[in-house]
Structure 1
Amino acid sequence: MAQAPVRIVLVDDHEMVLQGLKSMLTPFRGRIRVVGQATTAEDAVGVVAGLDPDIVLCDVRLQGASGLDLCKRLLQVDPVRKVVLLSVYDDEQYLFQALRAGAAGYLLKQITGEELVTQLERVHSGERVIDTALAGRAVETAARLASGEFWPGARQGLTHRESEVLSFMVTGMSNRGIARRLVVGEETVKSHLRAIYRKLEVSDRAGAVAVALREGIYR
């Protein structure tokens, strides 16, 4: 008896990406079936509850939310829910954040259709999958973290640049001052701040500084 296709729900805030994923998976309809889609985290919660897919394939970045937050939310409702995060970010710190959120996989968007289908089938069978481009670096990073050899904030999931921004925040430097110091635009600094707030689970600058001091990231 032929095995039933893996039923998946796609979540991405760009309609073009959703259409591209469906087109990529169409040749494999005997193995993978897209049963639903959503463009926001709120819609995704309802769609997943109604369709009960085998896997939720979700972008890491969503408008007004993050795939990491959605992953945690879905797992709070159903702890055995399988969520695979799809991202353009090949930074192992995002991978660690995904694994801490309970994701069953972290794959990069440059993946081919055949590779994506194979990885989703592995997840369906109970495996946890990591994009091969990241796996080796992640092992090395984990080993360095375990030995205490890394930049401040790495254990909290901050990238090296985010750690730099946080260190300047602790000294009281303004966004403009940080931008000048790092030779970047203020919008880039604001983007780093949003990532820092999300990873430290705070809502503002004061909260981030408080965590940095409490956790001994900076003194």
Structure 2
Amino acid sequence: MAETPVRIVLVDDHEMVLQGLTSMLMPFRDRVRVVGQATGADQAVRLVSGLNPDIVLCDVRLQGASGLDLCQRLIELDPSRRVVLLSVYDDEQYLFQALRVGASGYLIKQITGVELVRQLELVRAGERVIDTALAGRAVDTAARLASGEFWPGARQGLTHRESEVLSFIVTGVSNRGIAQRLVVGEETVKSHLRSIYRKLEVSDRAGAVAVALREGIFR
């Protein structure tokens, strides 16, 4: 008896991306079937709960939310849930974060349809998949982290930019001030803050400062 197609739910805050992925997977509908699409975290939780797909294929960054947070939330609701993160960011720190929250895979959006289908089938079979080029760099990064190299906060899983934001928090710079210094929008700063709080397991600026000082990230 032929194996049934892998049932997936797509999560991305851009309709164009959702349409593009659906079209890319259409020629392989006998192997992978898109059963639902969501553009936000709350919608995704409801959809996944109702459809119970084999895999949730989710962007790392969503409007006003984090794909990493969504991944963790879905797995907390159902520990057997398989979530694969799909991103434009070939940054090993994002990979480490994805693995930390329980993701079943981390793939880069430049992936071909043929390869994506193969990787999704591997995930359904119980394997964890990682973009090949990124996996190689991650091994090197892990070794350097173990030897104490890299930026302040790298051991706590902070990206280089998050480390910069944390340094401003420690010195009392406002969100607006941080945005001006880094030449980004305040919403981007808030997104970094949410990620920092999650990784340091705190809920506010004061908690982040306390951890930064206690752990010697910044003095």
Take 1:53 and 1:69, find their aligned partners in 2: how far apart are those partners?
A: 19
- CA drift of 1:109 comes to 0.8
Q: Deviations over 1:56-88 (max 9, x none)?
A: 001111122111111111111110110000111
Gaps of 5+ in 2: none
Aligned to 2:196: 199
Q: Is the 8 A contact 1:98 1:106 kept in 2?
A: yes
Q: Is the 8 A contact 1:200 1:211 kept in 2?
A: no
Residues 43-122 of structure 1 aligned to structure 2 (within 5 Å): 43-122=43-122
Read off the aligned partner of 1:147 and give its amino acid letter. S
Residues 17-32 of structure 1 aligned to structure 2 (within 5 Å): 17-32=17-32
Deviation larger for 196-205 or 148-157 = 196-205
Read off the aligned partner of 2:29 and give its amino acid letter. R
Read off the aligned partner of 1:46 and give its amino acid letter. R
Gaps of 5+ in 1: none
Question: 1:177/1:53 Cα in 2 relative to 1: closer, same or farther (>3 Å)?
Answer: closer
- CA drift of 1:168 comes to 3.3
Matched, 1:39 2:36: no
Take 2:116 and 2:196, find their aligned partners in 1: how far apart are those partners?
A: 27
TM-score, reference length from structure 2 = 0.90
- CA drift of 1:175 comes to 5.4
- CA drift of 1:216 comes to 2.2
Q: Deviations over 1:141-180 (max 9, x none)?
A: 1111122222210022212233133223323345566567
Identity %: 77
Question: 1:139/1:196 Cα in 2 relative to 1: closer, same or farther (>3 Å)?
Answer: farther
TM-score, reference length from structure 1 = 0.90
Read off the aligned partner of 1:195 and give its amino acid letter. H
Take 1:15 and 1:77, find their aligned partners in 2: how far apart are those partners?
A: 26
Matched, 1:185 2:183: yes
- CA drift of 1:26 comes to 0.3
Aligned Cα root-mean-square deviation (Å):
2.0
Q: Deviations over 1:29-48 (max 9, x none)?
A: 11101111111111111111
Aligned to 1:139: 139
- CA drift of 1:194 comes to 2.6
- CA drift of 1:55 comes to 0.3
Deviation larger for 138-147 or 164-173 = 164-173
Q: Is the 8 A contact 2:162 2:196 kept in 1?
A: no
